[in-house]
Amino acid sequence: MRIESNLKWHILLILALFISLMPIVFAVSTSFKELSEAYSNVLGIIPDKPTLSNYLRIFQELPLNKITFNTLVVAATVTIFKVITSVMAAYAFVYFDFKGKNLLYFILISTIFIPFTMTMIPNYLIISQIGLRNNIMGVILPQLSDATGIFLIRQAMRSIPMPLIEAARLEAAGNFQIMANIVLPLVKPAVISTGIMFFINSWNEYVWPVLILKDTTNYTLPLALQLFVSSEGGTDFCLAMAVSVVTMIIPLGLYLIFQKYIINTFTSSGVKG
């Protein structure tokens, strides 16, 4: 009886998975079709006449290497900066008592709740004023003010038993030794997966770069996509899907490599004590 009822659940789960993963499969499949086949053989997962021409075209017509490089620079810079500052700030919030600590933490964490749209206009003016429009630096800077890292890494640090820190302190270890030798190794999985998520999110950032970047040579990947979509000349779904696939590769790859870390960190990122 149990086996049968489980089968029912499994069917349901597989169906849900099918729905959520199908668009990705379609994207990959369409990117290898010719335009006419994309229209005539919509459901075919394996193209009748597989072609690389979409990929060749997007790499020929767009500075896609440069665009990928830009995306990489943006994502890497944002990730490195945010991880470092988050670890530093989280450490201060967990292991120090200082005046205004709770208020400061409250204020910082509150910013998670402010949708970016709400600070978009002034940020736009700031970036314009310091001449960073159409510059990936202008894309990077506002992304740095994000408190989720502080939140997640603080959660991880709080789960380290205090006696470990106290034992180290008894042996006269300094703050930086404690941080480097005890805290960091223990929160490493959390830091890595937070970093990966930062990287992926920044990689996928769309709203802000759309406002800031002008030249195709300065584009990031999600922007490259719109070169093939919704213009007066129509949408070339095959090219759009090819760009989509290029955009997906790195986040998917990173996820598949670090899947265990990420899943475990978020599984335990729930709110305990």
Partner 1 sequence: MKKNILKAVAVGLMSAVLLTGCGKSDTGNEQAGQGEKVKIEYWHVNAETQGGKTVQELVDNFNAQSKDVEVVARYNPDMYKGLMQNLQAEAAAGKSPAVVQVGWAFLDYFSNNFSYVPPQKVVDDYFPQDKAFLQDNFLPNVMDLAKNNKGEQVGIPYSLSTPVLYINKDLLRQAGLDENGPKTWEDLIKFSDTIKEKTGKYGFYMQEPADNWAQQALLESNGARMISDGKASFASEDGIKAYQAYADMVTKTKSALHISWDQGVQSFVNGDVGMLYTTIAQRANVQKGAKFDVAAISSPAWAGKPKRLPAGGCFLAITAQDEKQQKAAWEFLKYLYSVESMAAWTKGTGYVPPRKDVADAENGLKSFLEENQMMKAATSQMDSVVPWASFPGDAGLQAEQMLLDARDKILSGDVSAHDALTQTQNQINALLK
Partner 2 sequence: MKKKFGNKDVWIAYGLILPALLVFAIFMFYPFFYTVYLSFFDWNMIKPVKEFIGLANYKALFADPLMPLVIKNTVEYILILLVLNCVAPYVLAFVLSFVIKRGRGFYKGAFFLPSVISLVVGSILYLWVLNPVSGPAAILAEFLGINIPIWSKTQGLVIVVLSIITTWKIFGYNFIVIFGGVSGVPQEIIEAAKIDNVPLYKIFFDIVLPMSSATGVYIFIMTIVQGLQYVFTPVKVVTQGGPDNASSNIIYNIYQEGFVFYHTGYASAMSIVAMVLFIVLLVIEFRYVEKGIYYEN
Partner 3 sequence: MKEIVFENVCKKYGKNLIIDNLNFTIKSGERLILLGASGCGKSTTLRMIAGLEDITSGNLYMNGKRVNDISSGKRNISMVFQNYALYPHMTVADNIIYGLKVQNIAKAEISSRLKAAVEMLELGGLENRKPKDLSGGQRQRVALARAVVKRSELLLLDEPLSNLDAQLRVHARKELVKIHQTYKQTFIYVTHDQVEAMTIGDRVAILDKGRLQVIDTPSNVYNKPANIFTAKFIGSPGMNIFAAAYADHFLKIGKQSVKLPEFWSAYIGKRNCREFYLGIRPEHIFLQNEKRKNSFVGVVKYVEEYGSHCGIYFDLEGHEVVASGTNTALKPGTNIYFTLDSARMHVFDKESKKNIGYPEVCYDNVYQYQSV
Residue 18, both tokens: 């099918």
- Residue 65 contacts which entry, partner 1, partner 3, partner 2, none (Cβ below 5-8 A, type-dependent): none
Neighbours of 220 (CB within 10 A): 28
Nearest distance from C-beta of residue 100 to partner 1, angstroms: 22
- Residue 1 contacts which entry, partner 2, partner 3, partner 1, none (Cβ below 5-8 A, type-dependent): partner 3
Of these, 3, 172, 256, 271, which contacts partner 3 (CB under 8 A)? 3
- For residue 135, give the DSSP letter: S
How far is it, in rounded angstroms, from Cα 136 to Cα 141?
9
Nearest distance from C-beta of residue 62 to partner 1, angstroms: 7
- Residue 11 contacts which entry, partner 2, partner 1, partner 3, none (Cβ below 5-8 A, type-dependent): none
Residue closer to partner 3, measured from CB, 3 or 271:
3
Using CB under 8 A as the criterion, which residues of the chain lie in contact with partner 1 when the complex forms?
35-36, 38-40, 42, 58, 61-62, 73, 77, 80-81, 124-126, 128-137, 140-141, 144, 210-211, 214-218, 223, 226-237, 239
- Residue 9 contacts which entry, partner 2, partner 1, partner 3, none (Cβ below 5-8 A, type-dependent): partner 2
Nearest distance from C-beta of residue 267 to partner 3, angstroms: 20
- For residue 16, give the DSSP letter: H
Nearest distance from C-beta of residue 209 to partner 2, angstroms: 10
Nearest distance from C-beta of residue 266 to partner 2, angstroms: 4
Sign of CA dihedral 61, 66, 70, 73: positive
Output b/e per residue, 51-65; b: 16+ Cβ within 10 A: eebbbeebeeebbbe
Nearest distance from C-beta of residue 267 to partner 2, angstroms: 4
Residue closer to partner 2, measured from CB, 16 or 52:
16
In the chain, which residue ranges form alpha helices assigned H by DSSP?
2-31, 35-40, 53-61, 64-95, 101-110, 117-129, 136-143, 148-158, 162-170, 175-177, 184-204, 207-212, 221-225, 237-267
103 makes contact with partner 3 (CB under 8 A): no
The tally of CA atoms less than 13 A away on the side-chain side of residue 37 is: 19
